[in-house]
A and B are shown apart, each in its own frame.
Chain A
Amino acid sequence: MIGLDPRTTPAKPPAAGLAPRPASLSGATIGVIGNGLNRGNDLLEAIVTEIARRVDIAGVVTITKKGVSVPPEPADWDRLVAGATVAITGYGGCGSCSSRSMRDAIELEAAQIPAAAVMHEALSGSARAMTRLCGMPGYPFAIVSDDYKSIATWADDEIEEIAAAVAPRVITLLTS
C-alpha cells in the first residue's frame, strides 16, 4: 500500500547563513523592528539604551510593524535596511508574533544585516520551529526568562531589569 506525504515542502530558504558580524557595536547603527505587542517596543528601546551605555553607537533606526504577526511594510523595510548595520527584532511574546519576529531576523540575515531576535522563553518553541522552516536550525536568539510575563504587560522597572539581563546576549549575537 502506498501513502502520500500530506505536507508541503518549504520553499528555498531566505538566507544562506549568518550575515558577517562586526567585531564590536562601536559606531553601529542599530535597526529595531518592533511588532507593537503591548510594551514590547519599550523593551527593545531599553535594550538599545543598555547597549548605548556600553559602547558608542552611531544611531538607531526604528520601525513598528502594522500588526504583531506581519512583515514590515516595504517602505519601512527599505528604510531600515538602508540605514542599519545591525538589527534587533521582537518582541516574541505571543504565538504568531514570535515566529514572525524570528522570520524578520532571518530575512535581515539574508539582507546581510546581523540580527538578534528577542523572544520569551515560553515562545521559544515557535521561534525554533521558524528557524527550522527557514533552513537555519540552531539560529541563536535572545531569551526573556519565564520570571517575566510573556505578553509584555510589564511595569517600567521590569522593562529595565529585562533589558539589563538581555542586552549582553544581544551584543554577543550581533558581534563576531
Chain B
Amino acid sequence: MSKPEAQSAIRAARNEYPGYAALLEDYFDRGWTDGLPIVAPEPDVVLGFLDGAGLTPGTVIGTLPTRQVEVTAEHIAINAVMAGCRPEYLPVVVASVRALLHPRGHAHSTCGSLAGPSHVVVVNGPIARQLEINAGLGCLGPGWRANATIGRALRLVIRNCLHAIPGELDRAAYSHPGRYSFCFAEDETASGLEPLHVERGLAEGSSAVTVFASWQQTGVWADVARPEDLAAAIAAEICYRGTYGSEFVRHSMNLMIVIPPAHQALLTAAGWSKARLRARVWEQTAEARARVDYSKGWPKGFVAGRVMLQDIDNLLIIAAGGEGLPEARVFFPHAGSAITEPIGPPNLAEDIK
C-alpha cells in the first residue's frame, strides 16, 4: 500500500490544531486522555506504527458486542502513539487487546464494574527482553518506558475504544492506580522456571501476553527456608481473603501468584518446579474450595474464606520482582479469565531490530 493509499485507509476523524499545546488541551477537554499528557497521534506517526507491525489500518483485532464496538489496528495504533509507545511495542499492545476482548476475558464486566479491576499485562518470551520490558526490580512501578506505555496503551484503548469513561460505562467506585498502567514481564532467564506462556501451551521461544483483570493485589510475607512453607503462606492468604466467582466464567477463573527472586531461588535450590508449588498450594486450599456450595448456582460476591477455583491449572505462577524481599504477591481475580495470546506474526521477535 502506497503512503497516500495508507493515509486514505485511515478512517479516524482528523482534527487540525495550530500546535501541540492546542491539541493537548483539546484532547483533555474531550476526555480522550487518562488525565496525563499524551503524544500527538499524527497520521504519519500512526501509519509508521502500523507499517512497522505489518498491519493495515482496518484490520479488526477484536469486538465487544454489548458496547457496539469493533476495535481495529488503526484504533490501537492511535492509542499506542498517545500512550508514548515506541513503534516496536505495537504488536504487544495488539496482542493485549486481542486477549482483553476474548469472550472469556469478559471485558464488558471488567471494564464496567463497580469493583474497578486493573488489567494486568504479563509479557513472556524473547520480545520482552528485546523491548526491555522490566521483569526485575521495580517491575510493577514507574520508571520503565515499555512497561509504562504498553500498559497505558491498553488502558487508553479501554477508555477510548470501549467507551469506559468513569461515571458512565466505567462505574468503578474507587478505580485503581493500576488503571493508569499495569504491565511487566516474567523473569525467565534468571529463574530457570518454566515460563507462564509455555505452561499455558505455547511453544518455548515464542512470545506472548497474558491479560488478567485483577480486583485486588496483596503481599505474602514468607521469610522461610522451605518451599512447603512458602506454599503454606500463599495458600493461607488465598484462603483468608477468599476469591470472587463468576457464573459466566465458572471453571476458568484464575488467580495469579508472583514470586520474587528470593522465592525463585528457594524453589530451584530444592528442585521444585512451578507445578510442584502449584500442587502444594492447591492441596492447602482444599478446605476453602470445598466450603463453596454450588447447589444453587454460583455464589455471588467476594467472601473471605470461600475460594471459588475449580481447576489447578488456573493458578498462574509468575517469576518477577527484585532481590531482597521475601514477599510474593497474589493477584485476586475479578470476573474474567486470564487470556494468553501469542504476539504475532510468529517471526516478529526475530524481525525486531
Binding site for B on A (CB under 8 A): 1-8, 10-11, 13-14, 36-38, 66-71, 94-96, 98-100, 103, 123, 125-126, 128-130, 133-134, 151
Contact = CB atoms under 8 A, between A and B. Distances in A.
Nearest to B12: A4
A135 B110 CA distance: 23
B300 A125 contact: no
A38 B300 contact: yes
8 contacts: A3-B17, A4-B10, A6-B78, A7-B160, A7-B163, A95-B172, A125-B168, A129-B165
A7 B67 CA distance: 13
Contact of B247 (A67, A94, A99, A129): A67
Given A96-B112, A96-B171, A6 B161 contact: yes
Contacts of B172: 95
A11 B32 CA distance: 20
B344 to A, nearest CB: 22
Contacts of A96: 108-113, 171
B66 A99 contact: yes
B169 A8 contact: no
Nearest to B11: A9
Chain A interface SS verdict (over half): loop
B107 to A, nearest CB: 9
A58 B156 CA distance: 49
B55 interface: no
Contacts of A98: 171
A3 B109 contact: no
B246 interface: yes
Contacts of A10: 67-69, 163
Contacts of A69: 66, 106, 108-109, 112-113, 248, 335
A71 B66 CA distance: 8
Given A4-B14, A67-B335, A128-B168, 8 more contacts: A2-B14, A8-B160, A8-B162, A67-B247, A96-B112, A96-B113, A96-B171, A126-B112
Interface in B1-52: 10, 12-20, 22-23, 26-27, 32, 40-43, 46
B142 interface: no
A135 B185 CA distance: 41
A2 B106 CA distance: 35
B187 interface: no
Considering residues A5, A10, A11, A13, which has the most beta carbons from chain B within 10 angstroms of its beta carbon?
A5
Nearest to B33: A6
Contact of A3 (B40, B68, B110, B171): B40
B70 A8 contact: yes
B119 interface: no
A99 B169 contact: yes
B42 A1 contact: yes
Nearest 10 CB-CB pairings of A with B: A67-B248, A95-B171, A96-B112, A129-B168, A10-B68, A69-B109, A5-B13, A4-B12, A6-B160, A96-B109
